Chains A and B, each alone.
Chain A
């Protein structure tokens, strides 16, 4: 079981927040720009200071090294960064089947990162993140730059991953229809508080 448990969480102007995300569940999160959605994801990955408790199963976030936590609770930011010359250098091993499932040809591994569009970066960024086999996915507007075909592929891909690995996810998006499609529960972040919708 992979269950994310958030209690009395406070950061910036937000909180206290309470949230439980159960295994295979996908939580949708929306809210105006600047409401603290992206910051919340960063907090959950321990990239920002905060108070309160965040647990994965019974494992307390502060009880293990931050880099170990980030492998389990993985954040896909709205803009992924690529620092080596080619795509494949960012991977220990390019999973060919998954590459195809996200709509790429196998030769993508040799591509120069300078020719990647923002949509391609987001899809490859997900693949790169999954190398750590995370138990929780934190997705920050992951399909903002995708066309509808690739958007569908992406959604299906994430759903499959959650089901196969008993993982869970928090999906931030401005697209309410999308959240209705992929999420089991939806929340709205407004004025620092989270309300179900």
Chain B
């Protein structure tokens, strides 16, 4: 059913990326290196996961799947952290991002597997791993955006927050507008893609299923399921991150405490 791609087919697409990089280098746009690294990462990581999935599908073992899942969550938490301009000191940043990914993506995938899909066994990797992967990939983006916006804006608007504290406002109110903005920043990608789905863009998973020969309506149902799960996961994830971080930004006497953030210079130095 599925037309298999040859190495030659892939290299045609690779040449396009190569040309883009060359053009960027000629015009001194400063993205070529990042582009090449990202392209190389995609190739290597996807090939590796292809091999892992192949092995995984052969042995349906719960412990092995949980191991893979926790590696995925850990790496996603790390990715969130590396996209932050200002990070929390110590293990807080990693703890908060990984924790909220666990609550949102992992729990929702679990719910979906146990209640909605009900495969046999419920953890069969063919469903579990791709679902978790799609959720993590999307909630990761939302959480990273929301977290970065919250900390950056709080940093820039320090005088406003302090003034509001001086007027006797509680921390959650003094930072309320900033939290609202950060929530928006985190949710906009998924809201946009839900709004544009079908009209402007055909979502990747659905396209993939159709290419593989699935009936369009079945593919659409899966896509709707995924979209809802992603938006719920992103929303709950961003909310928990905003709540935890804004608590961390204030000390027990309701003062702004930016000592808990790494300085940007320190960060470069590392």
Contacts and interface: CB of A to CB of B under 8 A. Distances in A.
Nearest to B257: A49
Contacts of A132: 167-168
A83 B164 contact: yes
Interface stretch (A1-9, A23-31, A60-68, A170-178): A60-68
Nearest to B163: A81
Nearest to A69: B168
A49 B162 CA distance: 14
Q: How large is the interface on B (under 10, 10 to 19, 20 to 34, 35 or more residues)?
A: 10 to 19
Contact of A74 (B166, B177, B253): B166
Contacts of A163: none
Given A65-B254, A67-B254, A74 B159 contact: no
A128 interface: yes
Contacts of B255: 46-49, 66
Contacts of B171: 67
Contacts of B253: 46, 49, 62, 66
Contacts of B202: none
Given A81-B159, A81-B160, A83-B160, A45 B254 contact: no
A77 interface: yes
A21 to B, nearest CB: 19
Nearest to B254: A66
A45 B177 CA distance: 23
- Interface size on A, as a range, is 20 to 34
B170 A67 contact: yes
Contacts of B159: 79, 81
Contacts of A185: none
A70 B253 CA distance: 11
A49 B171 CA distance: 17
Interface in B17-73: none
B165 interface: yes
Contacts of A48: 255
Contact of A70 (B160, B167, B177): B167
A20 interface: no
Interface of A: 45-49, 62, 65-68, 70-71, 74-75, 77, 79-81, 83, 128-129, 132
Given A46-B255, A79-B159, 14 more contacts: A45-B166, A47-B162, A47-B255, A66-B165, A67-B165, A67-B168, A70-B165, A70-B166, A71-B168, A77-B163, A77-B166, A81-B159, A83-B163, A129-B167
Interface of B: 157, 159-160, 162-171, 177, 253-255
11 contacts: A46-B254, A46-B255, A47-B166, A66-B165, A66-B253, A67-B171, A70-B166, A77-B166, A81-B162, A83-B157, A83-B177
